[in-house]
Amino acid sequence: MVESTMLAVAVAAPWVAAVIAVPRAATAATAARAAAAITAAGALAAIGGATLRAAGGAPAEETAWAGDALAVVMLILVSGLSAVIQVYALRYLRGDDRQRWFVIWANALTGSSAVMVSAGSVLVFTAGWIAAGICLVSLLGTYGTLPQARQGMRRTALNLLIADTPLVLAALVLTVAAGGDVSFARLTSVLPSESAGIVALLLVVSALGRSAQVPFHRWLPATLSAPTPVSALLHAGVVNAGAILLIRFSPLIAPMAAAMLLIFAAGAVTLVYATAVRLVKPDVKGRLVFSTAGQMGFMMMAVGMGAFAGAVFHLIAHALYKSAMFLSAGSGVAVRAEHRSWPTPPPARPARTVTAIALAVALAVAVLAGGQALLAARIAPANLALLCFVACTAIVAVTAGLRRSMTPGTVIGAAAGLIGGGLLYLCFLESFHHLIAPASGARPASPWLLLLPGLLLLALELVTRSGRIGGALHRALYARAVAASSVRPAPRTALTPSHRIGVAP
């Protein structure tokens, strides 16, 4: 079929781009331009294949390669973002002697991720997963002569070794039990329920490790020294792989209540932790790193509640947003430097604060009521719970904006943004819910558990916003957050007397 061929071209394109960049017959700049063009062509092929498949409506065949909506959407995302980042890197790394290294491993990472998201069986997925981890570590070594880069490589490699081992063990168990490679559609028929529970927990550990969730969260801040294109590929793509693993293996994981509760708990803890640390980070990239960890925590909470479609929608939105943020990090530094020179605005009067809170709450309630009225027959409880959680976050943001400036224009803008954005968010969630069918027999965590991280985030906001509320607690939290966000330097080797300052050899 033509659409299958085009999707195969999209998977193969990054590998071709990586191979053509290896020979040194052409300059690094020429190889980079050719590789970016090939990857972009692969993205266009993925879009074309998706369009033909949607128009034909033919179901995907059960093979080692998946052709469902999730695979097609993720393939477009992986190829498209990689092409954009590589085009950005053409100027960023122009004249750099490590440009060829970046081109080779960036395309290898893209190809590995394309294999992973397109996989329809356990062994193919595992191969793409492991290859993507190796390529990531190699990319982090773009400037391997720097101590910070070497430290980031070591921490990332150690984390991936620890976190990926459970996936390898689970893949071996499934392969041996099935007598060969097994497709995702047949996962439930391979193992008895007792063994399936153990395998499900192994898979959850690997997903949490790749997505930098507590307690596997310390490797991500260690990658801050990576070049901006590498950071964009990491934060927009690699850390999202945990959700893909959980969704692909959902026939095994979703029926296990303990596994789903563990996913939700890890996501909630990571969200609160990353939010607290992000508030004290003075640098732009540092704030972006912990923003990614928090966003991954939110995505894991969605998976834990069984809202797989919501997690995929959040994954796509986060990938697009975070890639743009990292690629514009240099401009962000200039903007923040300019803002520091502005005079400090006077504190808002209590009456304005109360009015801002009332307006924000009223707008959020209007969004929830409108969404319930429009989609009452089709809205999933987990999606409604996610919308309530997002609405609480929007209340804080709108309140902060209206406290600074409350005019008819700002009130109308806040109302339009909150109502329009909320309804679009809910509509997109429902659209993805129809594209990605939930696993049968799922036992997700209760949506009511969202109250716990929600209350913790609200308490954190109150403590940090007001100097009169919990002054001692504010100082203690600040100190803890600063300590948690600091990456300990790698231990230095002892210097011999000939290397010490002031001592002649």
The residue ranges of every structural domain in the chain are: 2-329, 347-485
Q: What is the pLDDT of residue 85?
A: 94
Evaluate whether 255 touches 226 at the Cβ level (below 8 Å).
no
Residues 6+ positions from 413 with CB-CB distance below 8 Å: none
Counting as low any pLDDT under 50, the low residues of the chain are 62, 469, 493-505
DSSP string, 428-452: HHHHHHHHSPPPTT--PPPGGGGHH
How many helices and strands, by DSSP H and E, does the chain display? 19, 0
3-class SS at 279?
A: coil
- The verdict on pTM exceeding 0.85 is yes
3-class SS at 345?
A: coil
Task: State the burial class of residue 505 (Cβ atoms within 10 Å of its Cβ: 0-12, 13-18, 19+).
Answer: exposed
Q: How far apart are CA 100 and CA 109, in angstroms?
A: 14
3-class SS at 119?
A: strand
Q: How many Cβ atoms are within 10 Å of 155's Cβ, its own excluded?
A: 20
Q: What is the pLDDT of residue 102?
A: 94
Question: Which residue(s) pair with 379 in the sheet?
Answer: none
Evaluate whether 87 touches 48 at the Cβ level (below 8 Å).
no
What are the C-alpha distances in Å from 53 to residues 56, 59, 393, 408, 409?
A: 5, 8, 38, 48, 45
Q: How far apart are CA 470 and CA 83, in angstroms?
A: 49
3-class SS at 183?
A: strand
Question: Which residue(s) pair with 460 in the sheet?
Answer: none
Q: At what angle do helices 122-140 and 241-248 cross, to 10 degrees?
A: 170
- Tell how far CA 59 is from the center of its chain: 29
Is residue 128 within a helix (H) or strand (E), and if so which, with residue range?
A: helix 122-140
Q: How far apart are CA 242 and CA 251, in angstroms?
A: 16
Q: Among 399, 385, 390, which Cα is nearest to 461's?
A: 399
Q: Among 320, 444, 465, 464, which Cα is nearest to 386's?
A: 444
Buried b (16+ CB within 10 A) or exposed e, 304-320: bbbbbbbbbbbbbebbe
Evaluate whether 70 touches 113 at the Cβ level (below 8 Å).
no
Q: How many Cβ atoms are within 10 Å of 46's Cβ, its own excluded?
A: 28
Q: What is the pLDDT of residue 422?
A: 75
Q: How far apart are CA 73 and CA 366, in angstroms?
A: 32
- Tell how far CA 11 is from the center of its chain: 21
Q: Among 191, 223, 179, 209, which Cα is nearest to 270's?
A: 209
Q: How far apart are CA 168 and CA 378, in angstroms?
A: 39
